[in-house]
Amino acid sequence: MFANLDTRIKKLTVMDISLTKLSVFFATIAIVKLFPQLTAFDYWALILMTVLCGAKPFHAVWIKK
């Protein structure tokens, strides 16, 4: 299953990846509009979650050989 998914992902262009990121961005805005209490998070908690979620991809791309 993952081998098939890897071959499909390798066919994506920069434009495809950018459009995917934009669709996630707009979906997130829609979710926040539906549940405004999500904006009550402290900024430090959001920064911490961003760093924690970005650590593995950062390591896989820039540090791992």
Domain ranges in the chain are: 2-63
Evaluate whether 38 touches 31 at the Cβ level (below 8 Å): yes
Handedness of CA 34, 40, 43, 48 (dihedral sign): negative
Q: How far is CA 59 from CA 22, 33, 48, 51, 65, in A?
A: 23, 33, 17, 12, 10
Total residues belonging to the chain: 65
In the structure, how many helices (H) and strands (E) does the chain have?
3, 0
pTM, to two decimals: 0.67
Summarize pLDDT for 3-44 with one digit per residue, the tens.
Answer: 888 888 899 999 999 999 999 999 999 999 999 998 888 889
